[in-house]
Amino acid sequence: MAANDNRQVITVADPEALAATAAEHVLARTAANNGRVAICLTGGSSPKQLYQLLATEAYRSRIPWQRVHWFIGDERFVPADDPLNNMAMARANFLDRCAPAANIHPIPTATADPTNPDRSAALYEQELKSFYGADAFDQARPLFDLVLMGVGPDGHTASLFPGDAALDETARWAVGVPKANVEPFVPRVTLTLPILASCREMLFEVAGGDKRAILTRLFAGENLPANRARSTGETVWLVDKSALPENFRGQ
Ligand code: 6PG
């Protein structure tokens, strides 16, 4: 299968339009599920505007907060209140104002052994399995309704870095990553590709001219982590014009 199979690319004018389009995807996924909804968030700077938008009345009033659960696809291995912590960023921008505390599922970096991200990953794996209600996936029942993703300058996504053994993990749901390829250079915990794939929709947000070089490589099909991450359902890339490769003609 070619790396770009099963990927829809949606281009938008600017980061504002990107956040608004992503917010509509969040609303659509919550509306499509009458039961318990699971959304896996991402860190980095790209989703910040989306998170702020979700906290505004226009969106906030349309999200069934009591039945939506929020997870995180990767975490920097720093305490929960450290500004570098991905879930802390999501909390500060919308979750703490909108979501019931019991529906927020951070990767437990603070309670785990501070020298061992694998231990923290194992605890999160247990939490995910308990939420899902099984130790193995049923293809017909994805873990997440929506998984948000970003792309790093080296083609990493979540904390799955090029050449890292974590990319080939098929058994564990989450793993420790001792060394990050990009700033901040702290250990990480990341969900693995099969777990991230277990979703109805995987939605990448990519914005800004500094992403154009890596998008050119990714859209050319290079074997990089962001090209290996895809949903068993839909995989959608939201890209703003400034990030779009010059030779892009649609996919
Ligand atoms: C992290 C992320 C990471 C991020 C990309 C893009 O913890 O750093 O989850 O995978 O999504 O690096 O980051 P930006 O949005 O800041 O470009």
The model's confidence at residue 231, banded by pLDDT at 50, 70 and 90, is: very high
Q: Which atom of ligand 1 is nearest to the CA of 211?
A: 17
DSSP secondary structure of 170-234: -S-SEEEESS-SSSS-S-EEEE-HHHHHSEEEEEEEE-SGGGHHHHHHHHTT---HHHH---SSE
Q: Which residue has the tokens 């992503």?
A: 22
Ligand 1 close to Cβ of residue 157 (< 6 A): yes
Q: Which two tokens stand for residue 199?
A: 């979703």
| Ligand 1 geometric centre to CA of 153 (Å) | 9
How far apart are the C-alpha atoms of 55 and 66, rounded to whole Å?
Answer: 15
- Residue 75 pairs in a beta bridge with 189
| Ligand 1 geometric centre to CA of 34 (Å) | 31
Contact 82, 43 (CB under 8 A): no
The model's confidence at residue 5, banded by pLDDT at 50, 70 and 90, is: low
Ligand 1 close to Cβ of residue 43 (< 6 A): yes
Ligand 1 close to Cβ of residue 187 (< 6 A): no
| Ligand 1 geometric centre to CA of 184 (Å) | 10
Report pLDDT digits (tens) over 156-197: 999 999 999 999 999 999 999 988 988 999 999 999 999 999
